[in-house]
Amino acid sequence: MAETTGPAADVLPGSDMNAPLLEVEDLRVEFAVRGRRIPAVRGVNFALEQGKTLAVVGESGSGKSVTSQAIMGILDSPPGFVTGGEVRLRGVDLLQQDEETRRTVRGNHIAIVFQDALSALNPVWSVGFQLGELYRVHRGAGRRAAEQKAIELLDQVGIPDAKNRVGHYPHQFSGGMRQRVMIAMALALDPEVLIADEPTTALDVTVQAQIMRLLRRIQDERNMGLILITHDLGVVADVADDVAVMYAGQIVERANIHDVFARPAHPYTKALLRAIPRVDAVGRELEVIPGLPPNPAALPSGCPFHPRCRAADPERCGDEEPPDRQAAEGHLARCHFAEEVYRDER
């Protein structure tokens, strides 16, 4: 896959190919709103290996997208600020790099696919221009060569008649095709890590399945690490290797996909799984999680989930913030009763 045009900024200085692909450690992000600091991401930890898929699941406002933007370094600041932690790509802490290095990491090493391709693509430039721009800026390709690469990319993501479509504008594509263009753009420079931020949320169900298949195929072909951000556990089930469940800016449960589905160790994950509509439960009322996600500006004391939790101990959970507990080998949950929940005793 290393068919690069011109000089490639392919190796990050100081990187160690034996180090894990991407490690996020104690990442913290705050937003400054009217003189107040509001925590959006409160100490996130995870690791992503080459060729693996990590699904980050959570309700809106749980900090999934902010985490991905902090990793990319495209957080709007102000108001958003990374206030602590490390984001290590092959051992290099990106947060310590200067802006120029971070810029070359974007697209070259880590790329992102956004949710709504219609607004994420610039309406006044052709898709060919927007794709080719990556080769022109990062690889110094000429207009012709860049367009040729753009056609190849469109072809790879399954856009029919790529040669003619390359000069078309985003509004001339259907929703699914636009999302394919977004994916092509993310793949252009052959990144090692692809972040897909709710890539199928804006699409209808049949197209969702096509896009997920495309992402999986591409990941297999290129052996990338994929971070799949979604609020839909259904999407995760047959794609992900690992799952990280986010709540109130923290990862509350992290484990292998099979473990999470079979034996969740956090009451929140349990409630999420119960809330998935089931075909074999026709006529039964849909389960919901009572209450609303917490306001990051006024988090509940103790465990942020305790006001909505079925298994909460009113005294302990309201006072004491739970640490990460190991419910089983490689299965972490941020709950005082992780082991009991895991054994389905609570």
Partner 1 sequence: MGRYVIRRLLQALLTLFITLFLLHYLTALSVQIRGNPALLFFGGERTPDPAMLAQIERLYGLDNTCFDRPGDPCLGPFVERLQNYAAGDFGTTLNGNRDVGELLTIYIPNTLRLFIFSTITLVTLAMVLGTWAARRRGGLIDHSVRGATILIDSVPVFLILLAYVYILAVPLTNWARDIWGAESFMGQVFRPNYNPDYPWTTIIIPGIIVGTVGLATLTRLVRASQLENLGSDFVRTAKAKGLKTGRITVVHVVRNSMIPIVTGVGYTFAFALSGAVLTEGIMGIPGMGRMIFQAVQRQETNLIIVGLTVTAVVVILVTLVVDLLYAVLDPRIRYD
Rounded to the nearest whole angstrom, what is the least distance from the CB of residue 157 to partner 1 in the complex?
A: 16
Q: Which stretch binds partner 1 (CB under 8 A): 39-47, 117-125, 255-263, 298-306?
A: 117-125
Nearest to 89 by CA among 5, 13, 167: 13
Rounded to the nearest whole angstrom, what is the least distance from the CB of residue 202 to partner 1 in the complex?
A: 11
CA distance 300 to 317: 10
Under rule CB under 8 A, residue 169 binds partner 1: yes
Strands 325-328 and 331-333: antiparallel
Rounded to the nearest whole angstrom, what is the least distance from the CB of residue 122 to partner 1 in the complex?
A: 4
Rounded to the nearest whole angstrom, what is the least distance from the CB of residue 14 to partner 1 in the complex?
A: 18
Under rule CB under 8 A, residue 126 binds partner 1: yes
CA distance 31 to 297: 10
Under rule CB under 8 A, residue 137 binds partner 1: yes
Using DSSP's 3-state secondary structure scheme, residue 341 falls into helix
Q: Which stretch binds partner 1 (CB under 8 A): 71-79, 150-158, 236-244, 274-282?
A: 71-79
Task: Say if residues 118 and 126 touch (Cβ distance below 8 Å).
Answer: no
Under rule CB under 8 A, residue 301 binds partner 1: no
Tokens of 6: 């011109």
Rounded to the nearest whole angstrom, what is the least distance from the CB of residue 330 to partner 1 in the complex?
A: 31
Task: Say if residues 112 and 198 touch (Cβ distance below 8 Å).
Answer: no
Under rule CB under 8 A, residue 114 binds partner 1: yes
Under rule CB under 8 A, residue 134 binds partner 1: yes
Q: Which stretch binds partner 1 (CB under 8 A): 121-129, 209-217, 247-255, 268-276?
A: 121-129
Of residues 174 through 193, those in contact with partner 1 by CB under 8 A are 185
Q: Which residues contact 208 (CB under 8 A, 6 or more apart)?
A: 200, 235
Rounded to the nearest whole angstrom, what is the least distance from the CB of residue 78 to partner 1 in the complex?
A: 10
Closer Cβ to partner 1, 181 or 255, answer by number: 181
CA distance 188 to 145: 13
Using DSSP's 3-state secondary structure scheme, residue 14 falls into coil
**At how many degrees (to 10) do helices 143-156 and 127-138 cross?**
120
- Would you say the C-alpha torsion 19, 22, 26, 30 has a positive or negative sign? positive
Binding-site residue total for partner 1 (CB under 8 A)?
29
Closer Cβ to partner 1, 107 or 158, answer by number: 107
Under rule CB under 8 A, residue 122 binds partner 1: yes
Spell out the alpha helix ranges (H) of 232-337. Answer: 233-237, 257-262, 267-274, 314-319
Rounded to the nearest whole angstrom, what is the least distance from the CB of residue 72 to partner 1 in the complex?
A: 6
CA distance 40 to 19: 28
Rounded to the nearest whole angstrom, what is the least distance from the CB of residue 175 to partner 1 in the complex?
A: 15
Under rule CB under 8 A, residue 11 binds partner 1: no
Under rule CB under 8 A, residue 247 binds partner 1: no
Task: Say if residues 197 and 114 touch (Cβ distance below 8 Å).
Answer: yes
Vertex 142 angle, CA 140 and 145, to 5°: 110
Under rule CB under 8 A, residue 105 binds partner 1: yes
Under rule CB under 8 A, residue 2 binds partner 1: no
Under rule CB under 8 A, residue 112 binds partner 1: yes
- Give the binding site for partner 1 (CB under 8 A): 72, 74, 76, 103-108, 111-112, 114, 116, 119-126, 133-134, 137-138, 169, 171-172, 185
